[in-house]
């Protein structure tokens, strides 16, 4: 059975970032991987109100197309998230999208899903944008599949298959083979601590999925030091987070 990848385009213009997605799409299709590109300016996406209803209850308070978009990503085997660099970061539309996925940080429904990130810029800001994407993946508990970037000096350089090799490998391999980095383990500890101190729907989610008894979102490669880090951070954060 072929895999399905959702590709999110955070650019209003179908130019450089979109061009990278089209090239990546062809590489994926050559591997018999089904794709769907969704431009974030097509669906109706309202700004996050910060009400935390998505955390404490079962659904967002907003009535728009976001729940359908999130379901598409949840149902996929992997996702490619992209944005051009605007003011040393992602576009405001992509940031709105990220804000509205807050539930996935507190209720990690996409934990273990491979994610690849793409950014383009005329000059600077790739480092800051890459850091944002890396943190976002950690917050989701996603398996980080790499970062494709282009700047003004190499914007015309074709996307090579090896730039997607890690992402494709993660699509093909079981998540039990993944070895989370220390910062990913720390993010797990943050989510675990917040859920343990909550009496909302996030607490229910963690209980029902037996996450409070785990050192990470799912069974994976963790050596004794990483397990110790998870336990230590959970203990420390329990004292720090009120």
| 158-168 residue pLDDT tens | 999 999 999 99
Give backbone dihedrals phi and psi of 131, rounded to 5 degrees, phi first.
-65, -40
Q: What angle do CA 62, 63, 66 make, to 5 degrees?
A: 80
* First-to-last C-alpha distance (Å) of the chain: 46
pLDDT per residue as tens digits for the range 69-110? 999 999 999 999 999 999 999 999 999 999 999 999 999 999
d(CA 172, CA 177): 11
Where are the domain boundaries for CATH 3.40.50.360 in the chain?
4-173
Task: Point out which residues pair with 147 in neighbouring strands.
Answer: 117
Task: Strand 4-9: give its sheet, edge to edge.
Answer: 34-39, 4-9, 78-84, 114-120, 143-150
205 conformational bin, left if phi > 0, alpha if psi -120 to 50, beta if neither: alpha
The percent of residues above 90 in pLDDT, for the chain, comes to: 95
Contacts of 49 (CB under 8 A, 6+ apart): 61, 62
pLDDT value for 242: 80
Q: Determine the CATH number of domain 4-173.
A: 3.40.50.360
Axis-axis angle for helices 182-196, 126-140 (nearest 10): 50
Task: Outline where DSSP puts E strands in the chain.
Answer: 4-9, 34-39, 78-84, 114-120, 143-150
pTM of the entire predicted model: 0.95
What are the 10-residue block averages of pLDDT along the chain, 242 residues in total?
93 93 97 97 96 93 95 98 95 97 97 98 95 97 97 93 97 97 97 96 97 97 98 95 84
């Amino acid at each position: 059975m072929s895999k399905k990848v959702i590709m999110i385009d955070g650019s209003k213009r179908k130019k450089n970032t979109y061009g990278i997605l089209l090239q990546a799409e062809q590489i994926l299709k050559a591997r018999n991987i089904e794709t769907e590109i969704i431009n974030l300016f097509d669906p109706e996406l309202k700004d996050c109100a910060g009400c935390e209803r998505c955390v404490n209850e079962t659904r967002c308070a907003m009535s728009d197309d976001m729940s359908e978009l999130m379901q598409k990503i949840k149902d996929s085997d992997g996702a490619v998230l992209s944005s051009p660099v605007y003011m040393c970061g992602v576009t405001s539309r992509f940031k709105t999208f990220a804000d509205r996925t807050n539930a996935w940080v507190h209720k990690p429904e996409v934990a273990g899903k491979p994610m690849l990130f793409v950014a383009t810029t005329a000059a600077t800001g790739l480092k800051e944008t890459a850091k944002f994407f890396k943190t976002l993946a950690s917050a989701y508990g996603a398996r980080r599949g790499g970062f494709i970037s282009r700047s003004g000096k190499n914007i015309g350089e074709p996307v090579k298959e090896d730039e997607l090799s890690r992402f494709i490998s993660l699509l093909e391999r079981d998540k039990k083979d993944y070895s989370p980095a220390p910062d990913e383990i720390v993010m797990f500890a943050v989510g675990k601590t917040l859920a343990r101190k909550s009496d909302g729907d996030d607490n229910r989610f963690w209980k029902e999925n037996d996450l409070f008894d785990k050192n990470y979102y799912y069974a994976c490669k963790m050596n004794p030091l990483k397990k110790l880090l998870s336990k230590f951070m959970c203990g420390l954060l329990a004292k720090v987070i009120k």
